[in-house]
Chains A and B, each alone.
Chain A
């Protein structure tokens, strides 16, 4: 009760001091008007399409349904992507420079570092998240309180990368030796008799500490998908294997894993692509300093902070190119997997 009043009082002070409430009203009004207008336009067009002359009605209706999405995708995604490819072969003034921007990416030491970091991220995050997620899914399968246990690990999936980065920034917080630690990990180090570390500032291990944050976020995803897959393994198969004297370890490797292989591939692929595009974590925790930058972060900095849009474009294209082999592999495995069944 008291807490609520205190809060209201604060809100009132804020309200008196500033134009918070009128401003809020006008902003929410904008959102409301936008949605209402959108609904009205769509509704009106549907109504008109319904009343169109009979001969062309089907065509008019088809256009109404499919054209808005296709136009938006063409103007907002396909055409910009083509322009980005073009820009990656140009300099700042639009002159064609061939592969210069790409040469920079693969020869300039700061840039090669960025590429290597990205490869390290992609090598570690999907494997670690999937392994921990799968192990956890197996451990808690059919256990009491499975739902709650799942929620705990799944929860980080719901929050923003920025929020997760601050949560972990607090875990990694460093105080000089002898002062009371407020970061949990450094406190553990001190308890174990070690010296506190500046986790996020000392390369090359700092990249690994950033990677932990991504693993923390993605494990829940792997766990939920793989847990659903595990529940699809026929009970008879497991039973048959144990009748043959298989240990739970060999049952896991020889029955469960082959059965859920398709799901594992999908999970690894999805996490790999998410990892390639990771930007928020690096930007929030280190801002790309201390040799931690990755392609997605560098793309943003070059294009929108440092005034090097061509280099930014080349980095964006590099991201796209890195995604393609993963997708191709994914499609191939899934296809052969489906044929095997």
Chain B
């Protein structure tokens, strides 16, 4: 492609000023306006939710959040959060408990698949065995199987007499582990197979076994990839609704925030003082993770999408 346009024919003298002019022209007034409009459209909905979650019930239902600066609509409270998090009662949101459930689901739900995937990825990358590449292609292909394909039979397995774990944390952990494996194995394999052969051979010459190589070389060298993937998997599990609905049993004992939030939006769909605060409780953790670790998140995203 570059040969057709032959960059050497371009006058060298003009290089720097030209580059500057190109840059300037791209940021035309139209582009700037359009960018601001898009940024506003993408921010306003969340802002409205956030502002409203701190407004007293009567004010939320009688005035729009955009009018909060006018004196008669002014007024702030933490009551909504207090209610959704701590109030106990049959119809109360009880999100404190669900928040804990989400944590208890998401932490092992991130660690289990990551470790198993790391081990499998190492085997596929560095332990030669018969059928290795064939098996790897199969694992790769599993990424396209919608998890809906597995839900009904998997629930049957969890319900079977010899397991009977459906409606428990174990069931949700195992489901998330299984569904997280294909992508995790694929991404970690890409990363681990890029480790220089010299490093691996040096370890081999020193007499290191596979387990020693794995612990002393693979894990430390893969930390950036592990970090990206851990963020990904954590957010996926934290935000998941489908797996939780099917395998958690849906009760306050095990079900995560997303499940309760969906329920509230059905049963208390117009109690916006509850819904706004509840939604914010459920998105605060992903937002913290996202804003503090955005770099890793983006890196993982790019690694996952620029395959091919």
Question: Which residues in A have some Cβ–Cβ distance to B below 8 Å?
Answer: 3, 6-7, 10-11, 13-14, 17-18, 20, 23-24, 27-28, 30-31, 34-35, 38-39, 42, 46-47, 49-50, 57-58, 61-62, 64-66, 68-70, 72-73, 75-81, 83-85, 87, 132, 135-136, 138-143, 149, 151-163, 165-171, 173, 180-184, 187, 216, 219-221, 224-225, 228, 234-240, 242-243, 248, 259, 262-263, 266-267, 270, 273, 276-277, 279-280, 283-285, 287, 296, 299-300, 303-304, 309, 312-313, 315-317, 319-320, 323-324, 327, 330-331, 334, 338, 341
- Neighbouring A residues of B262 by C-beta, 8 Å: 162, 280, 283-284
Q: Is the CB of B261 within 8 A of A81?
A: no
> Is the Cβ of B88 less than 8 Å from the Cβ of A17?
yes
Of the candidates B34, B149, B245, B286, the one whose C-beta lies within 8 Å of that of A316 is B149
Interface pair B210/A61, CB less than 8 Å apart: yes
In the complex, what residues of B have CB within 8 A of residue A304's CB? 151, 155, 245-246
A73-B181, A160-B282, A266-B305 known; A243 vs B48 contact (CB < 8 Å): no
- Listed from nearest, the 5 A-B pairs whose CB atoms lie closest are A160-B239, A14-B86, A80-B153, A158-B290, A76-B178
Query: How far in angstroms is the closest Cβ of chain B from A222?
Result: 10
Q: Is the CB of A31 within 8 A of B242?
A: no
B152:A153 contact, CB within 8 angstroms: no
Cβ-defined contact, B123 with A180, below 8 A: no
**A184-B48 contact in complex given A13-B86, A248-B28, C-beta closer than 8 Å:** yes
* B97 in contact with A23 (CB, 8 Å): yes
Q: Are A170 and B149 in contact (CB under 8 A)?
A: no
The reply to whether A171 and B97 contact each other, CB–CB distance below 8 Å, is: no
A320–B146 contact, CB under 8 A? yes
- Shortest CB–CB separation between residue B133 and chain A, in angstroms? 13
Most chain B beta-carbon contacts within 10 A, residue among A20, A139, A334, A341? A139
A-B residue pairs in contact (CB < 8 Å), sample of 11? A65-B122, A73-B142, A76-B150, A136-B38, A139-B32, A160-B240, A221-B305, A228-B306, A266-B305, A273-B144, A284-B261
- In the complex, the answer to whether B150 meets A341 with C-beta atoms within 8 Å is no
> Which residues of chain B are within 8 angstroms of A296 by Cβ–Cβ distance?
146, 148
Residues of B within 8 A of A31 (CB): 103-104, 107-108, 169
| B49 in the interface (beta carbon within 8 A) | yes
Contact B154 A76 (CB under 8 A): yes
Contacts of A17 in B (CB 8 A): 88
Whether A65 contacts B119 by the Cβ 8 Å rule is yes
Interface stretch of the complex, out of B18-26, B194-202, B222-230: B18-26
Q: Name the contact of B46 in the complex, choosing from A7, A167, A263 (C-beta under 8 A).
A: A167
**A62 in contact with B211 given A81-B145, A138-B31 (CB within 8 Å):** no
CA distance A239 to B173 in the complex (A): 53
CA distance A152 to B43 in the complex (A): 6
- Given A248-B28, A324-B144, the answer on whether A160 and B108 have CB atoms closer than 8 Å is no
Would you call A30 and B211 a contact (CB within 8 A)?
Answer: no
Q: Which residues of B contact A7 (CB under 8 A)?
A: 78, 81-82
A69, B185: Cβ atoms under 8 Å?
Answer: yes
- Size bracket of the B interface: 35 or more
- CB of A191, distance to nearest CB on chain B (Å): 10
Within 8 Å CB of B147, what residues of A?
Answer: 277
* Contact A323–B144 (Cβ < 8 Å): yes
B27 within 8 A of A: yes
A66 touches B153 (CB 8 A): no
Check B103 against A300 for contact (C-beta < 8 Å): no
Could you give, for residues 32-73 of chain B, a 1 whenever the CB lies within 8 Å of some chain A CB and a 0 otherwise? 101100110011111011001000000011111110000000
Report Cα–Cα, A81/B142, bound state, in Å.
Answer: 10
Partner of B210 from the list A20, A38, A58 (CB cut-off 8 Å) is: A58
Cα-based distance from A179 to B46 in the complex (angstroms)? 24
Chain B: CB-nearest residue to A165: B265
Within the complex, the shortest CB–CB distance from B141 to chain A, in Å, comes to 9
